[in-house]
Chains A and B, each alone.
Chain A
Amino acid sequence: MRGTFESTLPWWIAGPLIGLVIVALLALANKRFGVVGGVTDLVHGSAEGRGLRSWRTLLVLGMVLGGAAYALLAGAPDAGSAYSWLDTHLSTSGEVGLLFGAGLLIGVGARTAGGCTSGHGLTRLSTRVTGQHRLDDDDHGQRNHDHTAARGGDLR
């Protein structure tokens, strides 16, 4: 059993499973799969709610728990202080600083673009690239008040 989980799940199983999660969210509630939305609701809140009252934050929380569940079944291959090729080049504090900085860029970048790999790379590629275009989309009402202010009269 443990051996099953220790071997890497092949892309042709993992990929379609993730694809089905995207379809399931659409089929259940007409919602879009994405991680940065959950982070946004955690720190800002949106029309979907704030913190644990938002389904998007719970989606991300679920992913944390999913990682923990896998660790329990597979003997925690990710546990520990090892990270990446950076380990051999930097001190621990240097690596923490660099990774925090990289996280900042990821956070600012993903929030600016309106999504990360899951939201844009998967969900948006699957749905909103083709079809009728529009310039001003706010179907989820996810702008927060900062944006409302920044956009001035631009809002509908």
Chain B
Amino acid sequence: MKLRLSALALGLFTGFVLAWARLTDPNTFRLMLSLDSPHIYLLMGAAVGVAFVGARLVRGRRAVLTGERIDWRASRPTCAHLIGSVLFGIGWGISDACPGPTAAQLGGGRTLALAVAAGILVGVRLQPALACAVAKRATGGEKRAASVVAAADVL
């Protein structure tokens, strides 16, 4: 319960910041993808910088809510990451949208974000069956298919 409330509050904060930084304006992404504005690159760089340092400061400590030991393990990129990122990139390039800002756009009243959001929901819903079918057809084998179906965990 505490985790869910925290997540709701952190999400609210994130959505607010995304909107305030104008990441809810597709034109902001347009300028980023066409390399005309460094705004999002700098923003992401700053976010990763802070998170990189902060994550290492809390690593090994006990999580406040769960008492769990804060830790993670690195993982190598797989075929699924490559295929997934190409598909994602095409969608991103067409729509200038990305899932987080699209969520904030829904709250901000951008009506066409509904079309993007609906696409994302259906895409995520159909992905397992879709990937399974494609992988089976392409490889004819279960073993290789497994690595194409999806990355092991979803963030």
Contacts and interface: CB of A to CB of B under 8 A. Distances in A.
Query: Is chain B's interface secondary structure helix, strand, loop, or mixed overall?
Result: helix
B127 A26 contact: no
Interface residues of A, number: 121
Contacts of B91: 101-107, 109
Interface string A68-100: 111100101111111111000000000111111
Contacts, number: 493
Given A71-B19, A106-B119, A142-B154, A135 B76 contact: yes
Interface in A91-142: 95-140, 142
Given A67-B107, A83-B26, A117-B100, A62 B75 contact: no
Contacts of A121: 44, 48
B116 A100 contact: yes
B99 A39 contact: yes
Given A17-B17, A106-B97, A146 B44 contact: no
A11 B68 CA distance: 33
A58 B43 contact: no
29 contacts: A12-B42, A15-B50, A19-B46, A23-B50, A25-B10, A27-B70, A29-B65, A30-B66, A52-B4, A59-B11, A63-B12, A67-B18, A70-B19, A77-B108, A81-B112, A83-B112, A84-B27, A95-B112, A106-B123, A107-B121, A107-B123, A117-B100, A122-B44, A122-B47, A126-B48, A126-B55, A128-B75, A147-B150, A150-B131
